[in-house]
Chain A
């Protein structure tokens, strides 16, 4: 019962770890280059999720203040820092994905395949 309740309370973290492992595994094991990139994205999303979740306060509001507003004692706000950071993180993830896809296009033109094992095979034949 204790385990289940702690699972429930920390469900976000478990999902994040699960996603991380899925992404990690895909990146390392899957031979398809596109799927490698997808794995990379899943892995990064997992970390983003974890990061954003760490700043979430149950029942908290978005920390948006209007001019002249003073925070009351009962109001609870979500920590905005992780969200702001993750915006940057997403931008980085997008640019890496774009670069990786660009390279994949080039590799496909060279080898005519998206399979990493096949590319390694072709390369060893060339030597």
Chain B
């Protein structure tokens, strides 16, 4: 019953996080082996958990051996397992990149601490995905927010500090709302364990309907802020574009997703889908998802800074995922789950690639990438793969999730949302393709030396592109794990 592998990533990431600055201080060359070995260990153990989940169903772990309702439960279902493996694999690639890139983007003195923050962020994100206890979840959400702000602020310039502060304040608002929701749920159900609270919720909703719905509202508000659900996304473009490249990749690829996964888990376990039908929660998610998708795409269209463009595209893609959640049909939910994974991979890869491109071009302005594709064919090819995936061109990853989302919309009898998704695809084509066109077919104006980035940067970039292609061509294992 107690599957110890489910908590290996938490323990290992945390330990590595505390060890990183010490190792960096005393034996600088030990940092890379430490970071990579610990992350690789987490990849292996999550992979093992994925296999076990596929074979035996959900895995649990009771912290300290105390079963609920006293102890804290870790519960890994198939969605959490997929989220976990995505997280560790993306983290591994991003960390390889960071081990080279951080020395150029950051001052040498903070590199050790930067890695400490990243490792703790990874530990907390993984725990958010697998947490099955409401208060435990709140603590981990706070830890995630705090470290996420930290990896932005570590850059230390005006923009990063300001973005980090704004993110922190809005994040604290969200945390307050989440804690409020937890308190209200505890008051009416008497449990903090999600499954046990879910058992009590049907009687609770009869006795205190307003309290339960208030809890739902607070939860949506809090998680909406954290997951950048439109119009609560205002912190995102600055926060995701001003930190170091690797921080942006982690924030855009993973951090927003874990909050969606955890919101989804609370919907499933605590509220249950029947309860959500009683209030217009679905309709709200659909409306906000639609607005987020369209607004994010339109705003991205106006950006010249590549990282801001990618950040706004994240707002749009979060909209896709919430659309899937709001539609609620099995295929739409599958599409949402797939898009969480695919977007994590594609967007992390795109941010890393954009970082490498910006480094070579000396600017983040997309107009200055003209002709870059002739100098850095591999890097730009990787960017192209990611961009095509985001637009949803077969056979790249984004196509599969788009397929399921749109089919789910038709299943729900709402072709309007198909239109929304297609318009967003078109818009994403409109902002990605000009970059590619000018990069591949434009003229390289200056006679600067331009060559492919260092293998430690190029490797992760290419691996992300490869993953985008392979997961698009062969999504079979993912689909069978998700039960479709």
Q: Which of B146, B162, B192 contacts A99 (CB 8 A)?
A: B146
Residue of A nearest to B186 (CB): A54
Chain B positions 142 through 172: 1 when the CB is less than 8 Å from some CB of chain A, otherwise 0: 1100100110010010110110110011001
Residues of B within 8 A of A36 (CB): 169
Q: How distant is the Cα of A14 from the Cα of B411 in the complex, in angstroms?
A: 45
Are B173 and A99 interface neighbours, CB within 8 A?
no
In the assembled complex, B450 has its CB within 8 A of some CB on chain A: no
Closest to A102 in B: B153
Q: Which residues of A contact B180 (CB under 8 A)?
A: 20, 47, 50
Q: Would you give the 0/1 interface string for A97-109, flagging 1 where the beta carbon is closer than 8 Å to chain B?
A: 0011001101100
B135 contacts the other chain (CB 8 A): yes
A92-B139, A92-B142 known; A123 vs B183 contact (CB < 8 Å): no
Q: Determine how close the nearest CB of chain A comes to the CB of B45; give it in whole angstroms.
A: 27
In the complex, the answer to whether B168 meets A119 with C-beta atoms within 8 Å is no
Residue of A nearest to B169 (CB): A36
Contact among B135, B153, B162, B164 with A119 in the assembled complex (CB-CB below 8 Å) = B162
Interface residues on A, range: 20 to 34
Known: A47-B183, A123-B158. A103 touches B176 (CB 8 A): no
A121: min CB distance to chain B, Å:
13
By beta carbon, the residue of chain A nearest B168 is A100
A43 / chain B contacts, CB cutoff of 8 Å: 172-173, 176
Across-interface contacts of A78 in B (CB, < 8 A): none
* A96/B183 contact (C-beta < 8 A), A27-B169, A85-B135, A119-B162 known: no
Q: Give chain B nearest CB distance to A60 CB in angstroms.
A: 16
Does A77 have its Cβ within 8 Å of any Cβ on chain B?
Answer: no
Q: Which residue of chain B lies nearest to A52 when distances are taken between CB atoms in the complex?
A: B183
Contact of B161 among A23, A24, A40, A110 (CB under 8 A): A110
- CB A115 to nearest CB in B, in angstroms, measures 13
Closest to A40 in B: B172
Bound: A81/B142 CA distance, A: 20
With CB as the reference atom, state the residue of chain B lying closest to A89: B179
Flag if A95 contacts B183 (CB, 8 Å). Answer: no
- Contact A103–B168 (Cβ < 8 Å): yes
* B217: min CB distance to chain A, Å: 13
Residues B142 and A47 in contact, CB atoms below 8 Å apart: no
Q: Does B419 contact A (CB under 8 A)?
A: no
Write the nearest CB–CB distance from B294 to chain A, whole angstroms.
25
CB neighbours (8 Å) of A50 from chain B are 180, 183
Contact between B179 and A47 (Cβ–Cβ < 8 Å)? yes
The reply to whether B149 and A99 form a contact with Cβ atoms under 8 Å apart is: yes
On whether the beta carbons of A47 and B165 are closer than 8 Å, the reply is no
Question: Is B187 engaged at the interface, CB distance under 8 Å to the other chain?
Answer: yes
Q: Is the Cβ of B165 less than 8 Å from the Cβ of A107?
A: yes
Q: Mark B175-186, 1 if CB is under 8 A from A, else 0.
A: 110011011001
Give complex CA distance A28, B174 in Å.
12
How long is the Cα–Cα vector from A99 to B179 in the complex, in angstroms? 19
Some 14 contacts from A to B, beta carbons below 8 A apart, are A40-B176, A47-B183, A50-B183, A54-B186, A85-B192, A88-B135, A99-B146, A100-B165, A100-B172, A103-B161, A103-B165, A106-B161, A110-B161, A123-B158
Query: Which 8 interchain pairs have the tightest Cβ spacing?
Result: A51-B183, A54-B187, A103-B165, A92-B142, A43-B176, A47-B179, A40-B172, A110-B158
